[in-house]
Every structure is written in C-alpha cells, then in structure tokens.
Amino acid sequence: MFALYLMSKKGYDVLETLVQSGHAKDIDRVVGARDHQVQADYYEEIRDLCARAGVAFAERNEVSTSTSTWSLAISWRWMLEVKNLIVLHDSLIPRYRGYAPLVSALVNGEPELGVTALLGATEIDHGDVIAQKSLAVCYPAKIKDVIDRIANVTDPGTGCTLPA
C-alpha cells in the first residue's frame, strides 16, 4: 500500500493513470491541498476521482501520520515526515531545487527540462536521486504546454515503478 500527496494537473494525471490501470486498490489514501495562487489547482478533480474510484481522500490539514509502506509526492509544497517518501520534482536535480523549478528554468532559457524522482530527505530536494527523465524545450514556450509535457514524463505508464 502507498499514500499519494498530490496537487496540480500532474498529480491528477498520475492518479488517473493508476486508477485506470487497476491500481486504486493499492492506494492507502490520497492527500490533497488547495493552491489559491493557481486558477485551476485540480483539488476538486483529485478529490472527485478518489470518490469515484473508492480511494480514501484527506485534506492536508486533516492528516495524521502515515502507515503506508511507501509515499509519493507530486507537486507537493510542504515537508513531509513519512518513511519511504519518493518525491517527483520538476527539475533535473541538482539544478533548481525548491519551489517553482519549472518556471525558473524557463525564465533562464534552459534548453532541457525534466523530472527527478528522489527519496525524501530532511533538506528540500536533497535526497538520493532514483531516476531522471529529460525533455528538450523549444522557445518561445508556453508554461501550460511545458506543464502538459512534464505531466506526461511523470506518467507511471512510462515504465517507472515504485520500489518493492
């Protein structure tokens, strides 16, 4: 069993893929949070998909400690104190640690963007790297288009699996 800490379209897309591929039964719970700085934060979509799939859903402020074997955080903005945490971060670590890495990379004109799967650590985005996947970016680039491409990179249907 694993817990998911999800926000944004990327989090929704991963959840949808897991549900469609028959893995809803493997999800202990989904924890969501609102992002009032984003017009479409996907909070309701994530919550509603959990309801349709029979997956437990909790708001960030309602959560107690996790008993899941593994936890996966996607687009999450807060430190988590859970064992066996895997974080999907929108940059090729070690570059652009912290928040808003994708926007920072675009502003700086990076020719390549990507996602890093790393183990959670006591310092933000400093855990051991498990895997990375990159994609080239052509400018001018629209943030929505780049987010959609990054979301496809984080799709668990692309061959990434959680450790046993």
Residues 23, 21: Cα–Cα separation, whole Å = 6
Both 79 and 97 in one domain: the answer is no
Please state which of the ranges 16-25, 30-39, 59-68, 139-148 shows the lowest mean pLDDT: 59-68
Tokens of 47: 């919550």
Please state which of the ranges 11-15, 52-56, 61-65 shows the lowest mean pLDDT: 61-65
Q: Which domain holds residue 58?
A: 1-83
Classified as helix, coil or strand, 15 is helix
Choose the final residue of a domain: 39, 65, 83: 83
Top pLDDT among 35 and 147 is at 35
Residue 50 CB neighbours (<10 A) = 22
Give 17's pLDDT tier (boundaries 50, 70, 90).
Answer: very high
Both 103 and 79 in one domain: the answer is no
Is residue 7 predicted with pLDDT exceeding 60? yes
Both 103 and 127 in one domain: the answer is yes
Number of structural domains (the chain) is 2
Residues 48, 53: Cα–Cα separation, whole Å = 9
Both 6 and 62 in one domain: the answer is yes
Choose the final residue of a domain: 22, 52, 83: 83
Residues 142, 127: Cα–Cα separation, whole Å = 30
Residues 5, 91: Cα–Cα separation, whole Å = 18
- Residue 162, in any domain of the structure: no
Residues 6+ apart with CB under 8 A from 58: 29, 30, 31, 32
Q: Which amino acid is at 92?
A: L
Residue 39 CB neighbours (<10 A) = 6
Choose the final residue of a domain: 49, 68, 83: 83
Q: Which amino acid is at 106?
A: L
- Residue 164, in any domain of the structure: no
pTM of the predicted model, to two decimals? 0.84
